[in-house]
A and B are shown apart, each in its own frame.
Chain A
Amino acid sequence: MNTEILGVILIFLLSVALAWPLGKYMVKVFRGDKTWSDFMSPLERLVFKLSGIDPNQPMDWKQNLKALLGINIFFFLFAFIALAFQSLHPFWNPVGIGNWEPTLAFNTAVSFTTNTNLQHYSGETGASYFTQLLVFCWLQFVSAATGIAACALLFQGLKNKTGSNLGNFYNLMMKSCTRILLPLAIVLSLILTINGSTTNFDGLQEVTTLEGETIQVAGGPTAPMVAIKQLGTNGGGYFGPNSTHPFENPNYLTNIAENIAILLIPMALVFAFGFYLNRKKLAMLFFAVMSILFIAFVAISVSEEMNGNPAFTEMGLAANQSNMEGKEVRFGPAASSLWGVSTTATSNGSVNSMHDSHTPLSGGIFLLDMMINAVYGGVGVGFINFFVFVIVAVFIAGQMIGRTPDLLGKKIEAREVKIAALVVILHPLLILVGTALASYGIVQNPEYGWLNNPSFHGFSEMLYENTSAAANNGSGFEGLGDNTQFWNILTGIIMLLGRYLPIIGPLAIVGSLAAKKPVPTTSGSLQLDSPAFGAVLISVILIVAALAFFPALALGPLAEYFTF
Chain B
Amino acid sequence: MKSLRIALVLGFSTIILFGVLYPMAMVGIGKAIPHQANGLPIEKDGKLIGFENVGQPFSSSQYFWSRPSAVGYDASSTGGSNLGPTNPDFLALVQGRIDTLIKYHPKLKVEDIPVEMITASGGGLDPHITKQGALIQVSRIAENRGLEVEALNQLVEEHSESPFLGLFGPSDRVNVLKLNLALDELAANQN
Where the two chains meet, the residues of A that have a C-beta atom closer than 8 Å to any C-beta of B are 3-4, 6-7, 10, 43, 47, 50-53, 66-67, 70-71, 73-75, 78, 122, 124-125, 133-135, 137-138, 141-142, 170, 174, 177-178, 182, 185-186, 189-190, 193-202, 204-211, 213, 215-219, 221, 223-225, 227-228, 239-242, 244-247, 250-253, 255-256, 308-309, 311-312, 315-318, 321-332, 335, 351-354, 356-360, 452-457, 460, 477-479, 560, 563-564
The reply to whether the CB of B129 lies closer than 8 angstroms to some CB of chain A is: yes
Q: Are A207 and B36 in contact (CB under 8 A)?
A: no
Given contact pairs A211-B59, A221-B23, A479 touches B122 in the complex (Cβ within 8 A): no
Chain A CB within 8 A of B11 CB: yes
**Further contacts, 17 of them, CB under 8 A, given A332-B169, A453-B83:** A7-B163, A137-B18, A138-B14, A142-B14, A200-B27, A228-B18, A244-B123, A246-B53, A246-B125, A252-B163, A311-B86, A321-B114, A323-B85, A326-B80, A331-B169, A452-B82, A455-B86
Q: How far is the CA of A193 from the CA of B23 in the complex (A)?
A: 12
Question: Is B84 positioned at the interface, with any CB of A under 8 Å from its CB?
Answer: yes
A-B contact count (CB 8 A): 369
- A210–B19 CB distance below 8 A: no
**From B166, which residue of chain A is reached at the shortest CB distance?**
A3
Q: A325-B119, A352-B122 in contact; A78/B83 too (CB < 8 A)?
A: no
Asked whether B22 lies within 8 Å of A185 as measured between CB atoms, the reply is yes
B165 to chain A, nearest CB (A): 9
Residues of B within 8 A of A213 (CB): 57
Q: Which of B70-78, B135-143, B146-154 contacts A (4 or more CB under 8 A)?
A: B70-78
Chain A residues, Cβ within 8 Å of B79: 122, 240-241, 478
**Interface set, chain B 105-140, CB cutoff 8 A to A:** 110-116, 118-130
Could you mark each residue 28-46 of chain B with 1 if its beta carbon is under 8 Å from any beta carbon of chain A, else 0? Answer: 0110010011111100000
> In the complex, what distance in Å separates the CA atom of A10 from the CA atom of B181?
34
- A50/B163 in contact, CB under 8 A: no
Pairwise interchain contact B168-A7, C-beta atoms closer than 8 A: yes
Q: Do B37 and A198 touch (CB < 8 A)?
A: yes
Closest to A316 in B: B110
User: How far does the alpha carbon of A335 sit from the alpha carbon of B164 in the complex, in Å?
Assistant: 12
Interchain CB contact under 8 A, B170 and A329: yes
Which 6 residue pairs across A and B have the least CB separation, nearest first? Answer: A244-B122, A138-B19, A479-B82, A199-B30, A332-B170, A457-B84
Give the complex CA separation of A456 and B165 in angstroms: 41
With contact pairs A177-B14, A324-B116 given, residues A137 and B111 touching in the complex (Cβ less than 8 Å): no
B191 CB–A CB distance under 8 Å: no
